[in-house]
Amino acid sequence: MSENYTPDSKVGKWFNDRLPLLSLASHLKDYPTPKNLNYWWTFGGILTFCLITQIVTGIVLAMHYVAHADLAFGSVEHIMRDVNYGWLIRYIHSNGASMFFLAVYIHIFRSLFYGSYKSPREVIWIIGILIYLLMMAAAFMGYVLPWGQMSFWGATVITNLFSAIPLVGESITTWLWGAYSVDNPTLNRFFSLHYLIPFLILGLVVLHIWALHVPGNNNPVGIDIKKPSKDTVPFHPYITIKDIFALLMFTILFAGFVFFAPNVLGHSDNYIPANPMVTPAHIVPEWYLLPFYAILRSVPDKLGGVILMFSAIFILFILPWLDTSKVRSAVYRPIYKQFFWILVIDIFLLGYVGAMPAEGLYLVLARVGTIYYFLHFLVVLPLVGYFEKTDPIPISISEPVMTGSANLGLAKKTDEKI
């Protein structure tokens, strides 16, 4: 094991005594991982890939992009038309944002289903939510950079959220803008921050993984495992090869968007240069922010809507203490499992109405969806954990596998359900 790892070569030993990078590599390689992890556990690796892809393509784009209100739109067209492979790199970056969120949502829902946020993994979860928040900030600011109509009006609407704050709201928005409306100074600072945030995320990802390696991975059965033991496999090559296979499947979908439908996830209005005199008929955020947008619009009060939208995210920070059940995996929680799927449907519903005009039936649905969202976390979770009669839990994960009964049935069960 890594704790007593000594490099073979003399030079390696000399170096490792001074900076134990080789010990770290050995730890990562041998890291005992539950052998029953399913494909939902591959999204951590996929997300790392997404982050690196965004950073690399982003650095390249910044070499050609001009952060100026008069030149930004043209510089993006310059990238698309003149820069060698510019179109490819930009489409990877713009679709990469969507793929990043797709992966992070699957990752979050996996955690919700298998109870990965519960003790002793609360800190991993909280760091994860911080990453998610920063991702939203980065994505929002990145969307402003092409300086199209949606960029401009998206920036206007989102920054105006802060004007809802009593007394100082107006000063805060003016401060955010650096002008009396979204303008060139806003674009410049958004570019600066958009460049910075991914590196903050990278730092948090290191902490996220560090915090993960303390208790080790949760697993589909959700029970604690001895490590290393028959229940675990070394991370390399077992988990790496599986992660790579899943990553390839993900990349096929990714490449499908980049090469054959690069603009389908975007909004056509963003190819119209920003015009402060004309608002587009329909302002919609990118798809990954739609559920929160629906919550915002479901409240007829400005401040109330803003508070509720931010609460919808911040409530996730206290999730580990809202869920009172000691059993982690939803596989053994018949009642929670049903509520989990209702929550999934609810969030899809919110996403759908977030894309629709805020009127009539859509508004009613948005309100129902919003109320259920909060009910799930504030009422359902504490109560279900308290009253639910859970199914019997296996003692270890390899034992049922050896008898070929419970875990096989379990694997099948999860397959069907998810």
Partner 1 sequence: MTDTKKTNRRDFLFTATYTLGAIGVGATIWPFIDQMNPDKSVQALATTEVDITNIEPGKSITVLWRGKPVFLKRRTPEEIAEARSVSLNELKDPEKDEDRVKKGNDEWLVMLGVCTHLGCVPLADKGDYNGWFCPCHGSHYDVSGRIRKGPAPINMEIPKYEFVDNNTIKIG
Partner 2 sequence: MKKFKILLLTALFLFSINLKLNAAGEQAEPIKIDWSFKGLTGKFDRSSLQRGFQVYKEVCASCHSMQYLSYRNLGEPGGPEFSEAEVKAIAASFEVSDGPDAQGEMFTRPGRPSDKFVSPYPNVKAAAAANGGAYPPDMSVLVKARKGGANYIYSVLVGYEDPPAGVTLDDGVYYNKYMIGNKIKMPNNLSDGLVEYADGTSATVDQMAKDVTTFLAWAAEPELEERHKTGIKVMIYLILLSILVYLSMKKIWSRIDSEM
For residue 27, state whether it binds partner 1 (rule: CB under 8 A): no
Q: Where are the alpha helices (DSSP H) in 115-231?
A: 122-144, 149-160, 169-177, 184-213
- For residues 183 and 172, what is the distance between their CA atoms, to the nearest angstrom? 15
Which is nearest to 343 in space by CA: 317, 362, 319?
319
Going residue by residue from 380 to 409, which x/- string records binding to partner 2, judged by CB under 8 A?
------------------x--xx-------
Q: How far apart are CA 184 and CA 335, in angstroms?
A: 53
Judged by CB under 8 A, does residue 85 bind partner 1? Answer: yes
Among 81, 180, 386, 389, binds partner 2 (CB under 8 A): 81
266: left (phi over 0), alpha (psi -120 to 50) or beta: beta
Q: What's the min distance (Å) between Cβ of 79 and partner 1?
A: 9
Please give the DSSP secondary-structure letter assigned to residue 232.
E
CB of 56 to partner 1, least distance (A): 7
Could you give the CA distance from residue 368 to residue 353 in angstroms, rounded to a whole number? 11
The three-state secondary structure class of 22 is helix
Positions 313 through 342 that interact with partner 2 (CB under 8 A) = none
If phi > 0 it is left, if psi is from -120 to 50 it is alpha, else beta; for residue 311 that is alpha
Q: Give yes or no for residue 252 binding partner 1 (CB under 8 A).
A: no
Q: Which ranges constitute the DSSP H helices of 214-281?
A: 240-260
Dist CA 316 CA 170 (whole Å)? 29
**Burial class of 84 by CB neighbour count within 10 A (0 to 12, 13 to 18, 19+):** exposed
Q: Are 292 and 135 in contact (CB under 8 A)?
A: no
Tell whether residue 133 is a contact of partner 2 (CB under 8 A): no
User: Binder to partner 1 among 44, 86, 280, 385 (CB under 8 A)?
Assistant: 86
Nearer to partner 2 (CB atom), residue 249 or residue 379 = 249
Chosen from partner 1, partner 2, none, partner binding at 238 (C-beta under 5 to 8 Å by type): partner 2
Q: In the complex, what is the shortest distance from the CB of residue 394 to partner 1, in angstroms, rounded to a whole number? A: 33
- 202 or 406: CB nearest partner 2: 406
Q: Which is nearer to partner 2, 155 or 350 (CB)?
A: 350
Is the CB of residue 287 less than 8 Å from the CB of residue 98?
A: yes
Binders of partner 2 among residues 233 to 252 (CB under 8 A) are: 233, 237-238, 241-242, 244-245, 248-249, 251-252
Percent helix, strand, coil in the chain (nearest 5)? 70, 0, 25
Give which of partner 1, partner 2, none residue 271 binds (C-beta under 5 to 8 Å, depending on kind): partner 2
User: How many other CB atoms sit within 10 Å of the CB of residue 178?
Assistant: 14
Give residue 329's Cα distance to chain centre: 21
Contact 100, 55 (CB under 8 A): no
Residue tagged 């001009």 (tokens)? 66
56 binds, among partner 1, partner 2, none (CB under 5 to 8 A by kind): partner 1
Instruction: Choose among partner 1, partner 2, none what residue 262 binds, the Cβ cut-off being 5 to 8 Å by kind.
Output: partner 2
CB within 8 Å of 171: residues ≥ 6 apart? none
- The residue among 106 and 378 lying less far from partner 2, judged by its C-beta, is 106
In whole angstroms, how close is the CB of 131 to partner 2 at the nearest point?
21
Token pair listed for 262 = 């690069």
Q: Which partner from the list partner 1, partner 2, none does 60 bind, CB cut-off 5 to 8 Å by kind? A: partner 1
89 binds, among partner 1, partner 2, none (CB under 5 to 8 A by kind): partner 1
R_g of the chain computed on alpha carbons: 23
Q: Determine which residue in the list 62, 200, 207, 272 makes contact with partner 2, applying CB under 8 A.
A: 272
**Residue 259 interacting with partner 1 (CB under 8 A):** no
User: Which of partner 2, partner 1, none has residue 279 at its interface (CB below 5 to 8 Å by kind)?
Assistant: none
Q: Which residues bind partner 1 (CB under 8 A)?
A: 56, 60, 63-64, 78, 81-86, 88-89
Q: Which residues bind partner 2 (CB under 8 A)?
A: 35, 38-40, 74, 77-78, 80-81, 87-88, 91, 98, 102, 106, 233, 237-238, 241-242, 244-245, 248-249, 251-253, 255-256, 258-260, 262-265, 268-269, 271-273, 281-282, 284, 287, 290, 348, 351-352, 355-357, 398, 401-402, 415-416, 418
